[in-house]
Structure 1
Amino acid sequence: MGHSEIQGGGCEVCVVRPTLSITQRASKYHYTPQHTPGFFKSLQIKATESCSCSARCIMSVVAARVPILSWLPSYNLRSSLVGDIVSGITVAIMHIPQGMGFAILAELPPIIGIYMAFFPVLIYALLGTSRHSSMGAFAIICLMTGKVVKQLAVIPDPESHHDGNETQPLLQGTHTYTPVQVAALVALMNGIFQIAMGVLQLGRLSVFLSDMLVSGFTTGAAVHVLTSQIPFILGIHVHSFEGPLKIIYAYVDIIGQAFSCDQAVMIISLITMIVLIFNNEYVKPWFRTFTKIPIPIELIVIISGTLTSYLDNFHDVYNIRIVGEVPTGLPKPAIPPVELMSAVLVDSVVISVVAYVVSFSMARIFAKRHNYNVDANQELYAMGASNVFGSFFGCAPIAVSLARSLIQEAAGGVTQITSFVCCFLLLFVLLFIGPVFETLPNCVLSSIIVVALKGMFMQVRDLKRVWGVSRPDAMIWLASFLGVVIIDIDYGLLLGIVTSLVVLLYRSQEPKTARLGRVPNTDVYLNVKEYSLALEVPKISIFQFTGPLHFANADYFRQQLMSVTGLNPAAIVATKLLEPKLRQPEAGITSHQTKGVEYLVVEMSGVSYTDSSGGYLLSQLYKEYQKAGITVCLAALSGSVLQTLDACGTDNVIPPEDIFHSLHDAVVALTNPDQPLGVDDISTQL
């Protein structure tokens, strides 16, 4: 092998080696097949490895399951502590308005949102592997939890505080359950499912929920969140609808009450949203030029709303709904009503999957940005344990909040110490400051939620961006979005998953194919329809297939092979039986393609996988073309494909001498059939 400079830049590389079939390659380079143990042997090996025990092994396992033991001893106080403290204080301030607002989405008292920022987050800080994810209340998960709460709990009428009016649950029985009990049970079931998924090593299955699916799903869910908050912003009461088209029915009801809105509530909501939007669009970008720490505008709005409501007595004078009683101190631990497990089973599975996918997607983004690793299965353990622990204190399921996480990163957060600082400040709020927020109008919290939805609605740009790149990906986004909006959140997720699987199958069902030609005096082979310099090799037709070959696309492979090359073995055999004077090119056969063709080479470098149906198809094609006087050869097969063909017995039909190391090996060997393999040299110029 050598190289030299050539005119025009670059260099010329000359590689000289013998042509190789797979038999020659195995012999010349001492191929030793790897032994694959059987199923029971694999289980035995796995059991032996799992049961082997040593002090070092135990410490490794414990450190893997409790990551804080790995990173805390090496924590750098000088470079990380200040950023973690500042970030923790900033995130704690954000937790108060967001937690209180998102708790309303789950039909829970606002104080529960702060509990969700304290109890579960403590456990996640110990067990989680993401350094920048802000766990706690998340709008989509709270909304999905609220659906279950409305079905199973007795919800007090927000219009009449403590007057006995209540919303009855759909599930009637001898016992009644509070919203906190139902939400806590959902959190417990979430934790159990997530821990079970971690034990089964199912963390990586999240890759099947594509970015387009998650984007469309969360955008559709944002429509539900907006719809649920409009009655609070307008000061009206909307009936609770269930099933498909419930959002449409809700908006019909809202429009029907357009002239009965509470003007005082609308004015408060309008002022709140104007202040928030002005800050986000103008003040925040300007302020960011001076410091990474954002203005805690949501907290300022809450304090202002609470103070104004207290001084003007909004609840008694204007009949404006307020937060109401906020207890001080920490709640006593209690076991959720486990007798309702069967009733929340399906919803809990959906919520646990959505919470994990959204959270792990964010964790993966931050990990790539800051060059560290997140463990998919450990995240399941961490989230599961957090939800289980939080459920005993009345918490709803938790997930990562995009807005808080971005602020945590921007404020200088480096490690999970941020979460501990945040929890310490929230503990102070829970012990001493909680009752201050009792006069806060609910419409202020709803306004904060609606303005915070901007980021989710802006995900519509993902559809515009991907529409011109990949229509199938755009269909995944649309299916997820429309399914969530028109049908319901859980069914929309299912529709998105089904659409993703259909797109995946479609792409593997019909891979790209081409007829290749050789660029003269090179080993470069290109599509003859796209490159005018690529010329077909005399006596050889080359067919390229660039996708997996399996039972679902076996017929497509056969059809494309005959269509692209123009070589139909049945038609060729029929033509040979006719009298010479009657022979005419038949359908599917063009004379310039079939005249003198002796070899059909299938280039399979793009075939990553094949199954028994693919192996059987290749055997059948070999026999059919052999009857037509054409030899089928295979080139550039991967090791796994060769092993599958060997297991299927395909190599008993197609001789190993007709299976080549590369396409160029096949062409050189077939154009020089009088020279034995392994003697002729290939001279390649690049």
Structure 2
Amino acid sequence: MTVTRRPPWLLGTVVGYRRSWILRDVIAGLSAGAVVIPQAMAYATIANLPVQVGLYTCILPMLVYAFLGGSRAMSVSTTSTIATLTATTLVTAGVAAGAEDAMGSLMMLTLLVGAILLIARLCRLGSLVENISGATVLGLKIGVGATVAVGQLPKLLGESDDFSGHGFLASLGAVAQAFGSANGPTIALSAGSIAVILVLKRFAPKVPGTLVVVVGGILLVGLAGIDRLGVDLIAPVPSGLPVPGIPDFGQTVALVPGALAIAVMAFLESAAVARSLRVATEPQIDSDQELFATGAANTVGAFFGTMPAAGGFSQSAVNQSAGARSQVATLVTVVLAVLVALFLGPVLSLLPEATLAAMVFVAVAGLINIPELVRWARISRVDFWIASSVAVLGLTAGLLPAVAVGVVVTLILVLREVNIPKATIVGADGGVLGIRLDRGLYTANALANERMLLETVAAQGAPVRALVLGLTQQEVMTITVLDALEDLDRELSQLGVVLHLAAVPASAKVVAERTPWFAGLESAGRVHGTLREGITAAESAIDAGMQSLHQGEVDDAP
């Protein structure tokens, strides 16, 4: 009998599943759905998209992640940061809200985000992306929070437009104009909704405040008719499930910069949420698996008109606190979202815009974490200035330039750190100097390491006859590195020093053996399995050379 084995990347969170967990997962899925469904609908309005787009983002991306993801409790839909970057990207690309090509461009954007994440997975860039500093993320979130919070103020006052995608300064101008036509009942509804969410969050955190204000807003329209007082409602919500479509490839080039920024933030948010929710008894979170799962969720969702998706902290935290033991809880949330899409469209159409704006306002206000910025100022001035600069840039030049600059600055700092040579001297006796490189050589640090090695040889008090170089960390060998090592061999030879290599990993050795220089080193017995073997061989070679020289002097004596 042939047993079909499950691929390790499929349904990893249900390994060892127990029947006793089913009830917990069902309760957790319903609890998370009560938060994520209205929240995702509200986030869709940040990008001036129909609320059903946010609802659809609670179906396909969640379903795909449930099968491929590695976090047991993470809930994947859209987030305030992703929604804001989506709005900014569409505006920057010249896609007008409500235009016929808006959905086609959104599908293309989501597809690009998914493709970028999948390409990053193929290149195993999970650990590289995670090098983006916390300072960059904090600065960006402050910029996002301030931009979106100000962008919601016109809706809270009774205007129907959302200026979040146009940037912080444009949103401020819209607020000034909105004061002249503010609607009293809308302001009262907005203030009441914000108060309810904050009070429940403070005194009854297990009660989903977003669901309460959504139900309350719908009841006020349906029973009290507050829409007749000038309170604007959302656009009618069609009943039914998302249908597949074709992205608009005409906007591809204009959408690429924004897609890159969204992909970076989607992965960073998802990885951060997954790690924060992991308990000690669960497997470690694999960065590359998260890239694959998040990329696949966006790629599949793109063809059904969803927004770019990422792990959201608030609904994931609700999921975990309600007792979620696996992604079965997410499947319950998906079923709930499907039922809402099929049967509650007419009911959702009674929802006031101000209610959704209040939900967004409260959610993004928490991103403006000034106390954390002050704490960083006391601990690390470098991190403080990076976060502050990214935040200011996001508020003035825009969020996409802020992401780009933050990523570039972070990578510069990372490269500066990894390019500093690190080595350990493991022996310096009998004319033999043993050095182990603690970082692998690559294009950017090869020359710096070569100079460091030559300076170390020159700094020894006693003459050095042989240098044994340990390359334990050199898993990847490139032509640039081989050229640098050959150049080091030549320079040492001019100083009368013989170069030996030791502990070269097999993967690097296979590449190196294709060059005549390395092959010559091997044939001369100057490549060794371990650093200790190399030092012993070098000492023996020096002793043999000394004996040969001494014998020659004896033979030449009269």
Q: Report the Cα distance in structure 2 between the residues aligned to 1:461 and 1:617, rounded to whole angstroms.
A: 49
How far apart in 2 are the matches of 1:344 and 1:510? 38
Relative to structure 1, is the Cα distance of residues 338 and 55 closer, same or farther in structure 2, using a 3 angstrom cutoff?
A: farther
Which amino acid is the alignment partner of residue 400 of structure 2? D
Q: CA deviation at 1:477?
A: 5.1
Q: Which stretch has the larger CA shift, 406-415 or 420-429?
A: 420-429
Checking the alignment, whether the CA contact within 8 Å between 1:483 and 1:496 is kept in structure 2 is no
Deviation of 1:674 (Å): 6.3
Judged with a 3 Å threshold, the aligned counterparts in structure 2 of structure 1 residues 539 and 138 are, in CA distance, closer, same or farther, namely closer
Change (3 A) 1:454 1:155: closer
1:601 Cα deviation (Å)?
6.8
Aligned to 1:221: 144
8 A Cα contact 1:550 1:613, kept in partner: no
- Alignment counterpart, residue 313 of structure 2, candidates 389, 402, 408: 402
Q: Deviations over 1:183-218 (max 9, x none)?
A: 3443345455556666xx245445334252555444
Are 2:152 and 2:162, in contact at CA under 8 Å, matched by a contact in 1? no
Q: 386-395 vs 609-618, which deviates more?
A: 386-395
Write the distance in 1 (CA, Å) between the matches of 2:68 and 2:437: 47
1:361-391 deviation digits (Å, cap 9, x = unpaired): 4335545645136666665565455445544
Q: Work out whether residues 601 and 632 of structure 1, in 8 Å CA contact, stay in contact via their aligned partners in 2.
A: yes
d(CA) in 2 for partners of 1:478 and 1:351? 20
Partner of 1:420: 331
What is the SS of the residue equivalent to 1:405? helix
Q: Aligned in 2, Cα 1:372/1:653: closer, same or farther, shift over 3 Å?
A: closer
Task: Please give the secondary structure, in 1, of the residue aligned with 2:35.
Answer: helix
- Counterpart in the other structure of 2:552: none
Relative distance call for 1:496 and 1:428 in structure 2 (3 A) is same
| Partner of residue 298, structure 1 | 210
Partner of 2:343: 432
**Residue 132 in 1 paired to residue 42 in 2?**
no
Please say if residues 550 and 612 of structure 1, whose CA atoms lie closer than 8 Å, have aligned partners that are also in contact: no
Q: Which moved more, 1:644-653 or 1:382-391?
A: 644-653
Other structure's SS at 1:372 match: coil
- Matched letter for residue 177 of structure 1: E
Match of 1:271 in 2: 192
Q: 3-state SS of the aligned residue for 1:400?
A: strand
* TM-score, normalised relative to structure 1: 0.64
Task: Choose from 110, 123, 136 the match for 1:187.
Answer: 110
Distance in 2 of aligned mates of 1:660 and 1:186: 51
The partner residue of 2:226 within 311, 314, 331 is: 314
2:201 alignment partner AA: N
Partner of 2:19 in structure 1? 77
Aligned to 1:45: none
Distance 1:339 1:623, change over 3 A: closer
Give yes or no for contact 1:540–1:600 (8 Å, CA) kept in 2: yes
The answer to whether 1:494 aligns with 2:404 is yes
**Counterparts of 1:194 and 1:554, CA distance in 2:** 30
CA offset at residue 277 of structure 1? 2.7
Is residue 616 from structure 1 mapped to residue 513 from structure 2 by the alignment? no
Match of 1:142 in 2: 83
Measure, in 2, the Cα distance between the counterparts of 1:73 and 1:509.
Answer: 41
TM-score, with structure 2 as normaliser: 0.77
1:119 and 1:493 mapped to 2: Cα distance? 27
* 8 Å CA contact retained: 1:322, 1:442: yes
Root-mean-square deviation (Å): 4.6
Change beyond 3 A, Cα 1:614–1:412: same
> What does 1:480-519 correspond to in 2, within 5 Å?
481=391, 483-512=393-422
**Cα offset, 1:251, TM superposition:** 3.1
CA deviation after TM superposition for structure 1 residue 418, in Å: 1.0
| Separation (CA, whole Å) in 2 of partners of 1:639 and 1:188 | 39
Q: Which residue number corresponds to residue 549 of structure 2? A: none
Q: Who is 1:64 aligned against?
A: 7
Structure 2 residue identity aligned to 1:105: I
1:105 corresponds to: 46
- Aligned residue for 2:231, secondary structure, equals coil
- CA positional deviation for 1:633: 6.4
Alpha-carbon separation, structure 2, partners of 1:412 and 1:671: 66
Deviates more, 1:84-93 or 1:448-457: 448-457
Match of 2:234 in 1: 323
Aligned partners of 1:643, 1:343: CA distance in 2, in Å? 40
Asked whether the 8 Å contact 2:431–2:464 carries over to 1, the reply is: yes
Cα drift, residue 102 of structure 1: 0.7
Question: Which letter does structure 2 place at the counterpart of 1:64?
Answer: P
Q: From the CA coordinates, give the structure whose radius of gyration is larger.
A: 1
- Match among 517, 525, 529 for residue 649 of structure 1: 517
Counterpart among 352, 356, 365 of residue 445 in structure 1? 356
Cα distance change, pair 414–263 in 1 and its aligned pair in 2 (3 A) = same
User: More helix by proportion, 1 or 2?
Assistant: 2
Query: How many residues are treated as equivalent by the alignment?
Result: 534
Deviation at 1:545, TM superposition (A): 5.9
Give the distance between the partners of 1:55 and 1:436, measured in 2 at CA: 52
What do the CA deviations read for 1:79-137 (whole angstroms, capped 9, x no partner)? x1111011011011112320221110121222332232134433443444432221223
Contact (CA 8 Å) 1:133, 1:405: kept in 2 or not?
A: yes
Provide structure 2 residue ranges, at least 5 long, that are not aligned to the other structure: 547-558
The yes-or-no answer on 1:372 pairing with 2:283 is yes
Corresponding position of 1:598? 463
- In structure 1, the gaps of 5 or more residues are 1-53, 157-175, 285-293, 517-523, 526-535, 568-592, 678-686
Q: Give the Cα–Cα distance (whole angstroms) in 2 for the partners of residues 659 and 277 of structure 1.
A: 67
Q: Give the CA deviation at 1:451.
A: 1.9
Pairs within 5 Å for 1:579-598: 594=461, 597-598=462-463
Change in 2 beyond 3 A, CA 1:251/1:663: farther
